[in-house]
Amino acid sequence: MTTSNRQRPIRLGTRRSALAQAQSGHVATALEKISGRKVELIPIVSEGDTNRASLSEIGGMGIFATRLREALLNGECDILVHSLKDLPTAEPDGLVIAATPVREDARDVVLSRDGTPLHELRPGAKVGTGSPRRIAQVRRHAPRAEVVDIRGNIGSRMGRVESGELDAVILAAAGLSRIGSEVTLAREELDLAEWPTAPGQGSLAVETTADAPAELLAALAELDDEATRLAITVERGVLEGLEAGCQAPMAAHAVVTGESVRVRTVVYAPEGERRIGLDVTEPLRRGYIRLNGSGNGADAADGADPNHAAREIGLSVARRLLDQGAAGLVSREQS
């Protein structure tokens, strides 16, 4: 890298939302310490920011990422920071996820005015969420409540509860933590065993071009947390396998412990009346996946790629879900 490149700021492309700016700022601060270079945030407007239709109608997967990735490929920025749960499983040609920092709290939380637990809400209570997965979960866990399909930033969603328009909203714990906003509403954390969340929830993905300078790739690798990368690779493997024949709302959460990974995954019928789930623990065999390698997973023993192996675990879980009838939980129009 030339002296001029070392002096030039690293341009970090990010959505304009307060949450996106906040999580990009956390990455920027860490990258500045590692690289010794200034990191400049480049705001980019995505389709998800301008299209106010329901996520269930326009499809949540990819609508926040496409414009940002175009900017990266066009040289408008050097790196991107995404909420990993917003990324499609297929990586575009020429791009790589160079780092997955340590995952934050992957749980969902319910925010309400009086602290009534979700399952105890009165009949007709209005619960706001725009996620098809959360909609199915609410209908299963609080069948007497009315689900209101909403969009908007964290502040506006909380404001609709404070004003009395809604009785509760469901948000990601990681988003509340990263944005650092004051929460005056009562908070109920939803346990992952009963309420698993979206693949990659709580995780960030730092993306760059495959031909990025070696010095930049090396700096980004220092941001990577291997246990997080392996866990989210399992989760995204489940999602990838289900997309072939199942578009139902689904959840997957994996935890790497020692030399094994436990993955809890559920596919829901859209109305929440049925579900098919698995809770399995798979070995990460010594000599096949090693957890003390480099941040990019390249230091696996015997030449095995730990990320490839983690993906195969996820694909295997997806096949088992499909074998148990997961594809039948959605109507033909949704397939």
Give the pLDDT score at 284.
Answer: 74
Give the pLDDT score at 299.
Answer: 42
pLDDT above 90 coverage of the chain, percent:
69
Least confident span in 64-68, 76-80, 172-176, 217-221: 64-68
d(CA 128, CA 157): 8
Element (H, E) at 98: strand 95-99
Give the pLDDT score at 180.
Answer: 79
Give the pLDDT score at 182.
Answer: 74
Q: Is the pLDDT of residue 48 over 60?
A: no
CA distances to 41, 93, 240 from 67, in Å: 16, 15, 22
In degrees, rounded to 5, the angle at the alpha carbon of residue 48 between the alpha carbons of residues 159 and 56 is: 80
Q: Is the pLDDT of residue 193 over 50?
A: yes
d(CA 328, CA 335): 9
Q: Is the pLDDT of residue 7 over 90?
A: no
- Domains of the chain and CATH, by start: 1-101+203-224 (3.40.190.10), 108-189 (3.40.190.10), 225-335 (3.30.160.40)
> Is residue 169 a contact partner of residue 102, using CB atoms and an 8 Å limit?
no
Mean pLDDT of all residues belonging to the chain: 86
d(CA 267, CA 249): 6
Q: Is the pLDDT of residue 287 over 50?
A: no
pLDDT tens figures, 14-44: 998 889 999 999 999 999 999 999 999 999 9
Give the pLDDT score at 277.
Answer: 95
Give the pLDDT score at 200.
Answer: 95
Give the pLDDT score at 247.
Answer: 62
pTM (predicted TM-score): 0.86
What is the pLDDT confidence band of residue 304, given thresholds at 50, 70 and 90? low
Highest averaged pLDDT of the listed ranges 59-73, 287-301, 307-321: 307-321
Of the candidates 86, 108, 167, 224, the residue annotated as catalytic is 86
pLDDT tens figures, 85-144: 989 898 899 999 999 999 999 999 999 999 999 999 999 999 999 999 999 999 999 999
> Who wins on pLDDT, 101 or 48?
101
Q: Is the pLDDT of residue 50 over 80?
A: no
Give the pLDDT score at 183.
Answer: 80
Residues 6+ apart with CB under 8 A from 10: 31, 35, 37, 38, 39, 40, 78, 79, 216
Give the pLDDT score at 334.
Answer: 44
Q: Half-sphere exposure (CA, 13 Å, Cβ side) for 171? A: 26
Provide the 10 A C-beta neighbour count for residue 50.
9
Residue 86 among the catalytic residues: yes
pLDDT tens figures, 246-275: 667 899 999 999 889 999 999 998 877 899
